[in-house]
Chains A and B, each alone.
Chain A
Amino acid sequence: MKKFIYLFLIVIFSCEKDDICSGTTQTTPRLVIEFYNISAPDEILAVPGLFAYGLDAEDLEVPINNEIVTTRSSITLPLKTDDILTRFKLYKSYDEVDGVTNGNPDTIKITYDTENVYVSRACGYKTNFDIQTFSISSDTDQWMISSEILITKITNENEIHVKILH
């Protein structure tokens, strides 16, 4: 009988952990972009002062959670789970002094299909993406020259989905 009571307590305490989606579980993945050297396309090349904003339908800048200005060779961007198109403004050499923004912004546009996939009781569903197109809007001072989709199916953040040459 004692053993049974212990077992019952174990079961009750294990409920709690079961109802919380673990941080290590891969839920809705973000898009991972890596930057390469245009003159040596196999070489990774960091972008100085890289910073990203989301762009909504009215072309307004939407701040991305945890996004900070850093020199880095890759960026992870959240796609809209309720849409099939997301745009981002990527700044090179971003700087903001007294409300005046400096830097070179380029806009990227990703179109994709979505699929909602069941994960677990605690995490519910995640959205996977299937990239259809990836484009860089051309402008007179474009720093991103070309792009290549490496993996169309976005199911996790451990792989590079798109390569950008600059």
Chain B
Amino acid sequence: MNLQAQQDSIPTVDSLIVKNKYGLRLGIDLSKLARTYLESDYNGYEMNADYRIADKVYIAGEIGNEERTTSTEYLNSTAKGSYLKVGLDYNMYNNWAGMENMVYSGLRFGISNFDQTLNSYTIYDTSSSTWGQTLIFESEKFKGLSATWIELVFGFKAEVLNNVFVGVNVQIKGRLSEVRPNNFESIYIPGFGRTFDSGNFGVGFGYNISYLVPLFKKAKK
């Protein structure tokens, strides 16, 4: 009763009702397609989607597949597999009436299932100048590897044409769990990216183009 009374007492300053578009936005990662085309040691794609559930909140997710060959001085390996990321995006940008741009931060839970092939390696031997270096070319495939991680996303999405958005985002990741190969480790994890000796963190970026399928409009509060 009290609440009702309060609301009634607020004077209406503006009678214009701003309506926001709600719907399912579907997109692809252009950077992965470009890298597939340009880099001989990379093949991958990613599809992404988000669905607005509140004025500033979106359920968001990505699904993709990557094959990446990593070659260092002493190791050559190929990781191949699929990944799924789900979470929320929070729009921090105050749009003008009728605009749907986003500057957002988001949180994801990611999971990847993949295989890793050790193509070749050179034994790390600081005294190799005496007898020479030993190269091993017996390729070995480690199947059924997996990893999970959480991811912080920062990015923007700008509406460049009606319902067409382009966006850029960067991701910082922390690995939660991992099924590691025996006598080896995951050098690259699809969806997570390269790994580091010094920790469970990872980084990534995306360059997306997406299309909003408008489903309904809702008045902005």
A84 CB to nearest B CB, Å:
12
- Rounded to whole angstroms, the CA-CA distance of A49 and B122 in the bound complex is 35
* Contact assessment for A82 and B134 in the assembled complex, using a CB-CB cutoff below 8 Å: yes
* Contact assessment for A126 and B172 in the assembled complex, using a CB-CB cutoff below 8 Å: no
Which size bracket describes the interface of A in this complex? Answer: 35 or more
* Contact assessment for B197 and A81 in the assembled complex, using a CB-CB cutoff below 8 Å: no
Of residues 40 through 67 on chain A, the ones whose CB sits less than 8 Å from some CB of chain B are 54, 62-65
- 24 of the cross-chain contacts (CB-CB < 8 Å) are A1-B154, A4-B172, A11-B172, A12-B203, A14-B196, A14-B198, A27-B124, A28-B123, A28-B124, A28-B126, A30-B127, A78-B127, A78-B128, A78-B130, A116-B136, A121-B185, A121-B187, A121-B195, A123-B124, A124-B123, A125-B74, A125-B124, A126-B123, A127-B134
Task: Give 12 new A-B contacts, CB below 8 A, not counting A17-B198, A28-B125.
Answer: A1-B154, A7-B172, A8-B203, A30-B127, A62-B130, A62-B131, A80-B131, A120-B197, A121-B197, A124-B73, A124-B123, A127-B125
How many residues of chain B get a CB closer than 8 Å to chain A's CBs?
Answer: 31
A117 close to chain B: CB less than 8 A? yes
- Please, what's the 1-or-0 string for A95-132, where 1 marks a CB less than 8 Å from any CB in chain B? 00000000000000000000011111111111100000
The answer, among B74, B129, B170, for a CB contact under 8 Å with A124, is: B74
A59 CB to nearest B CB, Å:
15
B72 close to chain A: CB less than 8 A? yes
B201 close to chain A: CB less than 8 A? yes
The answer, among B73, B125, B184, B197, for a CB contact under 8 Å with A18, is: B197
* Contact assessment for B127 and A124 in the assembled complex, using a CB-CB cutoff below 8 Å: no
The answer, among B134, B184, B196, for a CB contact under 8 Å with A118, is: B184
A19 close to chain B: CB less than 8 A? yes
B180 CB to nearest A CB, Å:
10
Given contacts A1-B154, A127-B123, contact A121 B75 (CB under 8 A): yes
Residues of A within 8 A of B2 (CB): none
* Contact assessment for A122 and B72 in the assembled complex, using a CB-CB cutoff below 8 Å: yes
- Rounded to whole angstroms, the CA-CA distance of A42 and B121 in the bound complex is 43
- Please, what's the 1-or-0 string for B123-149, where 1 marks a CB less than 8 Å from any CB in chain A? 111111111101010000000000000
A15 close to chain B: CB less than 8 A? yes
Residues of A within 8 A of B203 (CB): 8, 11-12
Residues of B within 8 A of A15 (CB): 196
- Rounded to whole angstroms, the CA-CA distance of A118 and B197 in the bound complex is 12
* Contact assessment for A65 and B127 in the assembled complex, using a CB-CB cutoff below 8 Å: yes
Residues of B within 8 A of A118 (CB): 183-185
A21 close to chain B: CB less than 8 A? yes
- Rounded to whole angstroms, the CA-CA distance of A83 and B130 in the bound complex is 13
- Rounded to whole angstroms, the CA-CA distance of A1 and B152 in the bound complex is 12
* Contact assessment for A122 and B122 in the assembled complex, using a CB-CB cutoff below 8 Å: no
Of residues 1 through 34 on chain A, the ones whose CB sits less than 8 Å from some CB of chain B are 1, 4, 7-8, 11-12, 14-15, 17-19, 21, 27-28, 30
- Rounded to whole angstroms, the CA-CA distance of A100 and B75 in the bound complex is 44
Residues of B within 8 A of A11 (CB): 172, 201, 203
- Rounded to whole angstroms, the CA-CA distance of A63 and B127 in the bound complex is 11
Residues of B within 8 A of A28 (CB): 123-127
- Rounded to whole angstroms, the CA-CA distance of A17 and B196 in the bound complex is 10
- Rounded to whole angstroms, the CA-CA distance of A44 and B187 in the bound complex is 46
Given contacts A28-B125, A124-B124, A125-B123, contact A117 B183 (CB under 8 A): yes
B79 CB to nearest A CB, Å:
13
Of residues 96 through 142 on chain B, the ones whose CB sits less than 8 Å from some CB of chain A are 121-132, 134, 136
